[in-house]
Amino acid sequence: MHSETERVTYRRALEALRSGVPNNSAVQVLGCSAEYYRKGSTQEKVEDRFLTQLSIVEAQARLGRQVPGLLIAGDFGSGKSHLLQYLEHLALSRGFVTSRIVISKETPLFDPAKVYRAAIETALIPGVTGQAIHEIALKLNTKSQQYADFYQWANRSDAGICPLFPATLFLHDSLNNDPELVEEIINFWSGERLAVGRVRAGLKQVGSPGMFTLKTVRARDIAPQRFTFTGRLVLAAGYKGWIFFIDEVELIGRYSWLQRGKSYAELARWMGAIPGQQYSGLTSVAAITEDFAEVVLKSKSDGSPGDRDVLGQRLRSKGTDEFIALATRAEAGMRLIEREAVTLVPPDASALKQTYARIKEIHSGAFGWSAPDVSFGDRTLRRAMRAHVRRWINEWDLKRIYPSALVNTEEDVLRPSYGEDQDLERSSEREDAEETE
């Protein structure tokens, strides 16, 4: 007999597996390499490499270095999202703050401000619930060596952040009778705007009106600085680092050529491949479709040259230093996709049998019945695990509700589209909008 808590966990896991979007319950009951894939598989090797990655982050975080990221490639439904969820579970269990970012219309990869907002909204802190930055701020111990190192770094001229950040840090420590401004400061660290006038008033309030030279900063300029500051803030609060899990990177194939270039450059930044643009204490794991390099980088479906051959040249043709630098970073991102991506392999017959048996057990426990055998389906090794799992669960659901019904499942293969979609680029904010007033 299963407890009520186990039954609830099982049902949550089944709902997630049915929809193809794994959650904590699915990871908890299925794990990753232990049951979902065979021993010695690429997935298990990815796990080993990720654990090494975490160890290096912990060792190098306070040296101002960013540990190179990990790029995972796989067919649609091959288990990339499940693997990211499992790796996030591992990171949290080892004392890291994590953020899960799904590239979408609302979170385009080429927009650092929106990526930061998504990172803060999805941030998880080990053993703590609540708004991430607020909880991290509560953990700051101004008497600790970690905080002293952080404060000293924030006030260095080569820290790579504008004076607004050390000014708000100083006020966060110094304000004792203005909880409203303290809240505004924490909200600013979370990605919201903060008027320069409010900061100046706060500095005057604590008797330090001329301590910092403050001026307005554009949103596109301050966005990368937020990652720099928050990565160090996480370390100052006593956590081991900040891990990004970036899913559905293949969506960049649907942007216009210019935004694809910016997205490749951002991917290179998240992978730690851009000298001079390093986020201390931060590393990333990103997932992309297996055929992206072939279909988008090497050649287009209409026979035109792929991005690898023309995008860098097209960016350089703009003739400005900004676009020449962008071209170099974009080419670094494209090389990462072509050369560094670790390709997931489909499950073999043994893994399918193990997973079938485990999900059958979960379904039985979730609904207090003995789930009967259902058709195993096409055992083609290139078939996505997600397709097998969804079919099994749906057939068990139907047999439980309609025991005498004859179930015949029809399926079709969904392939990602890489056609340009301008709607994905529409932004609710202008790039040149001021971050502060």
Q: Give the tens place of pLDDT for each residue, 203-250.
A: 999 999 989 999 988 888 899 999 999 999 999 999 999 999 999 999
**Mean pLDDT of the region 102-107:** 92
Q: Which tokens hold the place of 334?
A: 């494209």
**Mean pLDDT of the region 291-310:** 87
Q: 42-126+239-344 is classed in which CATH architecture? A: 3-Layer(aba) Sandwich (3.40)
Most confidently predicted of 49-63, 143-157, 335-349: 143-157
In 67-207, which ranges are E strands? 70-74, 97-102
pLDDT for the residue 377: 65
How far apart are the C-alpha atoms of 159 and 157, rounded to whole Å? Answer: 6
Instruction: Give every CB contact of residue 333 below 8 A, 6+ residues apart in sequence.
Output: 263, 264, 265, 266, 267, 268, 271, 273
Describe the chain by its helix, strand, coil percentages, rounded to 5.
55, 10, 40
Beta strands at 342-343 and 282-289: parallel, antiparallel or unpaired: unpaired
* Domain range list for the chain: 42-126+239-344, 139-232
pTM of the model: 0.81
Q: Which tokens hold the place of 324?
A: 């020449």
pLDDT for the residue 35: 40
pLDDT for the residue 387: 75
